[in-house]
Amino acid sequence: MSLKNKIQQSAKNIFNDLVSVRRHLHQNPELSFQEFHTAEYLASFLEKENIPFKKGIAKTGIVALIKGTKPSSPFSSGEGAGGEAKVVALRADMDALPILETNKIEYKSKNDGVMHACGHDVHMTSLLGAAKILNQLKNEFEGTVKLIFQPSEEKSPGGASVMIKEGVLENPKVQSIIGQHVYPQLEAGKVGMRAGNYMASADEIYITVKGKGGHASAPHLLVDPIVIASHIIIALQEVVSRNADPFTPSVLSFGKIIGNGANNVIPDEVKIDGTFRTYDEKWRIRALELVKKKTIEIAKSMSGEAEVFLPAGYPFLKNDEQLTQRAFSYAQQYLGNENVVELPMRMSSEDFSFYTHHVPGCFYRLGTGNASKGITSNIHTSTFNIDESALEIGAGLMAWMAVNELSA
């Protein structure tokens, strides 16, 4: 039996276990950097499988290693630079979202107001399944697979950036990294990828406009922060329309304005929250500088003042061209050409991007939708769910990609 068939058979054999794992994780979601019970559950699974691991990285993260035991030779292709064993990392994120689940399912979230609405329960389950498969078949490959269970993908500064600072890509040094994400727009049984630029950077913008409030009947005695905020929002659209290279995708959006006045009360201040996204790191820095500069100048010109807070966000996500081309081929071998599709660029973001600025990375999409079963809700919604048949592919394909990449 070929290695591919062995992996596929192993994934099929553990499918019921994967469903149980996913449902447990779905019922017990935890918010960013609070994934303590989740980490204990993952650790108990790895311990049961006799897979060595280390806990407490970036607070709740876990890193495990599976070393292939296939005899190597001086001509082995499973070696990295300098002749040391090659290391491929597989990553899954752990945190859930502050969403009240409205699904009518037996494994509905037990934690009111917290839900795995972005599929991180699926990501963890797939990686645990891949770990089990790889550990069973470790005499079939050489090199090392590093398993990264990462906290806080959903909340800045992003668990990936913290794990990298704490050395997750070192000891042993990672040569490449692969991650997957649920994609309800694709039917279960399919996966999608894109080489090169794939997801945008994401920066949060917090503006406080300060004026002088009072009775709305006497605006001449006041400094109206609502009017100032309105001018700022309109003027900042020119940051993109009149400063960005037309060939560089850029989005500047504001989704929250709070004035807390009344129909006859002008408040003392207005808060504005927004986001900026693009694919160019130099332009990203300049655009945020322009946002700050214009905001402060406009407020001052209208006798008010403004404070601008721009916490460090996520960089753009670039899938390594060669690695992604190989991954595309691995997926075609595993699923058939017709079940692997090329995806368009998107302006959403992911903190997997941090890894791709350190080592070659490939972030791909796992189809989880099933229109015939009514499983069509998008991520980050209270009705998000998956066709659980995708778990078998999620686990098996990650294992297949890892062993192929070790010998690439």
Sheet holding 53-57, edge to edge: 53-57, 61-67, 144-150, 87-93, 176-187, 361-369, 191-193, 340-342
**Residue 242 CA neighbour count, 13 Å, CB half:** 8
203-309: CATH class: alpha beta
Q: Which two tokens stand for residue 11?
A: 């994934």
Residue 70: the pLDDT is 84
Position 75 pLDDT exceeds 70? no
Mean pLDDT throughout 285-289? Answer: 98
Mean pLDDT throughout 241-269? Answer: 97
Residue 76 pLDDT level (bands cut at 50, 70, 90) = very low
Residue 78 pLDDT level (bands cut at 50, 70, 90) = low
First to last CA, the chain: 21
Mean pLDDT throughout 50-65? Answer: 98
Task: Tell me if 133 sits within 8 A of 103, measured CB to CB.
Answer: no
Task: State the average pLDDT for the chain.
Answer: 96
Position 261 pLDDT exceeds 80? yes
Residue 74: the pLDDT is 40
CATH number of 3-199+316-406: 3.40.630.10
Position 188 pLDDT exceeds 50? yes
Task: Tell me if 120 sits within 8 A of 179, measured CB to CB.
Answer: no
Its pTM stands at 0.94
Nearest to 46 by CA among 72, 26, 65: 65
Mean pLDDT throughout 305-310? Answer: 98
Same fold, 3-199+316-406 and 203-309: no
Position 190 pLDDT exceeds 50? yes
Residue 82: the pLDDT is 52
Percent of the chain at pLDDT exceeding 90: 96
Residue 27: the pLDDT is 98
Distances (CA, A) of 105 to 174, 218, 230, 381: 40, 56, 44, 15
Domain ranges for the chain: 3-199+316-406, 203-309
Give residue-wise pLDDT tens across range 148-168: 999 999 999 999 999 999 999
**Buried-exposed string 115-151: b where 16+ CB fall within 10 A, e elsewhere:** bbbbbbbbbbbbbbbbbbbbbbbbeebbbbbbbbbbb
Position 393 pLDDT exceeds 60? yes
Place of tokens 């070192």: 170
**Residue 47 CA neighbour count, 13 Å, CB half:** 9
CA separation for the pair 10, 355 (Å, rounded): 29
